[in-house]
Amino acid sequence: MTTDATDVTDVTDKENDPAVLARQPVGSVTDAAHREVIAYIRGRLGELGLTQPQYWVIRFLHPEDLSADGSGRTPAELAELLAPYLLPQDRPAEDAEDLVGRGLLTRDAAGRLWLAEPGRQAHARVKEILPGLRAHIHDGIDDADYASAVRVLRRMMRNVGGPTALERYPL
């Protein structure tokens, strides 16, 4: 069960004051939220023996996820697909090599990477925990408040980047 964000008892009055909140720089707030959420997600994936970029590699090779047909892909193709999601420190080619070395992926004679059965199993383990991760991240936030926050952020994106900003980050 979630509660109204203003009912949260572990924040100060200042953190619930609309006037204070309205003066916060959007870049600072969104950067802090991004860092905290990504650290949380990456920590939970790490408990399963995966980095977030490794999970994305698996997703882009899985026929029931981001691969339309389960076809293999080259490391360069994967790097291009992953580029919008990566942080500066991420190394998708090294992550893919690690997955090959651990038997989660295989490589054919043409250098294309394919999802192996252990990779499918890793994908399934992550899919099992995702609802709990989302529930934890969204705890105390109802869907209407979350939708409002997304709507506001997307409007800011359009304000500063024009309509093409929303095309770069489709829903």
**In whole angstroms, what separates CA 67 from the centre of its chain?**
17
30 in any annotated domain: yes
As for how many domains the chain has, the answer is 1
pLDDT tens for each residue of 100-112: 999 999 999 999 9
34 in any annotated domain: yes
85 in any annotated domain: yes
158 in any annotated domain: no
Residue 78, CA distances (Å) to 82, 85, 93, 94 in order: 6, 12, 8, 12
164 in any annotated domain: no
Q: Is the pTM of this model over 0.75?
A: yes
How many CA atoms lie less than 13 Å away from 120 in the CB half-sphere?
A: 8
| Separation between Cα atoms, residue 74 and residue 27, nearest integer Å | 35
27 in any annotated domain: yes
- Give me the residue label for tokens 């999970």: 55
DSSP, collapsed to helix, strand or coil, labels residue 29 as helix
**In terms of residue numbers, what domain contains 72?**
19-133
7 in any annotated domain: no
152 in any annotated domain: no
CATH number at residue 34: 1.10.10.10
pLDDT tens for each residue of 56-98: 999 999 999 999 888 899 999 999 999 888 889 999 899 999 9
pLDDT tens for each residue of 141-167: 999 999 999 999 999 999 999 989 888
| Separation between Cα atoms, residue 115 and residue 113, nearest integer Å | 7
